[in-house]
Chain A
Amino acid sequence: MFSKYFGHYLLNRELLTREQLMDALEFQKSVHVKFGVIAVDEEYMTPLQVEEVHEKQKQMDKRFGEIAVDLGYLTNEQVEALISNQKQGHLFLAQALVDREYMTIEQFGAALRDYKIENSLSDEQFDAIRNGSIELLVENILGIEDEEKNSKYGQYLSLFAKNMIRFIDDQVYFEIDTLENPQSENWVVRQVIVGEAPLFTAIGANEEAFLHIASIYAEEELTEVDDLAEDAVSEFLNLHNGIYLVNMSNWGTELTMNPQEVVKNATVSGDVFLVSVNTSKGSFQLILSDKPENILIAQ
């Protein structure tokens, strides 16, 4: 998830164009992450040292790690650590950007450092995010200062991210939507969680995004929003909410939930918290509110 999120950070900082990012995200599926990229990412080596090792590699039949150790740039322990880190998602993006010549290793490393500084992340927090800690990433997206939103929606969003990755799309990327106007969507699936911590939950999507979620969850290609498609998106929300209830129960909060409902051409209004959920095949909105009684859905 961090890979996609960091890609959008690069886009917003105008270090990449949208086309370059889309191309790199697609291309990263086929790349092999090279040692030099990881060594710079981990700040074990400078880009210049990596270049030097690459030059030496052209002259001798040795691996990158061996040459770097010979030159005193890496220890054997660091080589071992780099091997085990080779599968981190964002490194595939880094390698794709370098291979496509959209960025140099140095520019990527500088952007990573800027990201860390701008988000006031400690080394430990940053490592955890890079290593796939969705909880920390979601907390970071929500804004560390906003404790209220974190406590209300943080757990729900973290789990939603995990379930999106698990069941729908591993290239998911969240953006907090600051719109306060009522949301109008082709399709809205809603489910209300009731109990001591009530929560209105809904997925709002245009037809294309709706069919994308439905097709993946139903495990068959759905080309029109029929009963099965409506049901598939409903079931995904229901499954996710069910797991959320189990988690909350394990933390001592017992909740139940009402049946889901699908509403066509709906406008949702009230005190809502909106999250744009971007997938590889389009975006939809996750609509949440801790005041379900104030939510209005009009057709």
Chain B
Amino acid sequence: MGNNLSVLICDDSILIRKKLRSTLEKCKCKEILEAVNGDVAVELVKVQNPDLIFMDIVMPEKDGIEALKEIMEFNPDAKVVMASSVGTNDRLKEALGYGAYDFIQKPLSFEAIANIIEKVIKEDKVDV
């Protein structure tokens, strides 16, 4: 699965960032950026405007929902996938209500990530 996607991982967990980066590398994403909290993610989005963002919800400083709101204000077409262990209906509705592209439940599986990448590639036709 070769592609031209630039992807931002926003998660306060080093372990999750490491695992997600490894999965994205296997999917041959072009560029992988990392943010440790919502504040850093918003700043990176404003500068780099990645094609896809994986966003944790429960984080110190700015949480994922707040970051999602700011990112969608900046770029209403941004594709922000909420990745959280808290996949309750309320959280899901809240995230989708603010314009999240998708929601995946932790622990993250390779298949779930690969499916999202495939979906984005198909929609944007950005593959090489």
Residues of A within 8 A of B (CB): 167, 217-218, 227-228, 231-232, 234-235, 238-243, 245-246, 249, 254, 256-259
Q: Judging by beta carbons under 8 Å apart, are A239 and B88 in contact?
A: no
A227 surroundings in chain B (CB, below 8 A):
14
Contacts of B88 in A (CB 8 A): 245-246, 249, 254
- Asked if B13 CB lies within 8 Å of chain A CBs, one says yes
**B18-54 interface mask toward A, CB cutoff 8 Å, 1 = contact, 0 = none?**
1000000000000000000000000000000000000
A242 touches B85 (CB 8 A): yes
Given contacts A228-B14, A228-B15, A232-B15, A259 and B58 within 8 Å (CB-CB): yes
Are A235 and B15 in contact (CB-based, < 8 A)?
yes
Among B12, B15, B16, B106, point to the contact of A242 (Cβ < 8 A).
B106
Question: In whole Å, how far is A194's beta carbon from the nearest beta carbon of chain B?
Answer: 11
- Residues of chain A within 8 A (CB-CB) of B90 are 249, 254
Residues of the A chain whose Cβ atoms lie less than 8 Å from the Cβ of B85: 238-243, 245
B59, closest chain A residue (CB): A259
- Looking at chain A's contact residues, is the secondary structure mostly helix, strand, loop, or mixed? helix
**Closest chain B CB from A263 CB (angstroms):** 14
- B76, CB-defined interface residue at 8 Å: no
Residues on B close to A: CB < 8 A?
Answer: 12-16, 18, 58-60, 84-90, 105-107
Q: Is the CB of B60 within 8 A of A235?
A: no
CB neighbours (8 Å) of B84 from chain A are 242
Contact check, B14 vs A245: say whether CB atoms are below 8 A apart. no
Tell me the smallest distance from the CB of B61 to a CB of chain A, in Å.
Answer: 9
Q: How far is the CA of A122 from the CA of B85 in the complex (A)?
A: 37
Q: Which residues of B contact A245 (CB under 8 A)?
A: 85-86, 88
Top 8 A-B residue pairs of the complex, sorted by shortest distance between their CB atoms:
A242-B85, A249-B88, A242-B86, A259-B60, A231-B14, A239-B85, A231-B15, A245-B86
Shortest A232–chain B CB gap in Å is: 5
Contact B15 A246 (CB under 8 A): no
Cα–Cα, bound, A218→B16 (Å): 9
Task: Write the nearest CB–CB distance from B114 to chain A, whole angstroms.
Answer: 19
Residues of A within 8 A of B15 (CB): 217-218, 228, 231-232, 235
Assuming A242-B86, A242-B106, is B59 touching A235 (CB within 8 A)? no
Q: Contacts A245-B88, A249-B88 given; 11 further ones with Cβ under 8 A?
A: A167-B107, A218-B15, A227-B14, A232-B15, A238-B58, A238-B85, A242-B84, A242-B85, A246-B87, A249-B89, A258-B58
Cα distance A100–B14 in the bound complex, in angstroms: 45
Residues of chain B contacted by A239 (CB below 8 angstroms)? 85, 106-107
Residues of B within 8 Å of A238, CB to CB, are 13, 58, 85
Pick 13 A–B contacts, CB within 8 A, sort by A.
A231-B15, A234-B13, A235-B15, A241-B85, A242-B86, A243-B85, A246-B86, A246-B88, A246-B105, A254-B88, A256-B86, A258-B58, A259-B12
CB-CB under 8 A from A254, the residues of chain B are: 88, 90
Nearest A residue to B37 by beta-carbon distance? A259
Select from chain B the residue with minimum beta-carbon distance to A259: B60
- Within the complex, the shortest CB–CB distance from A60 to chain B, in Å, comes to 52
Chain B's closest residue to A233 (CB) is B15
- What are the residues of chain A within 8 A of B13 when measuring CB–CB? 231, 234-235, 238
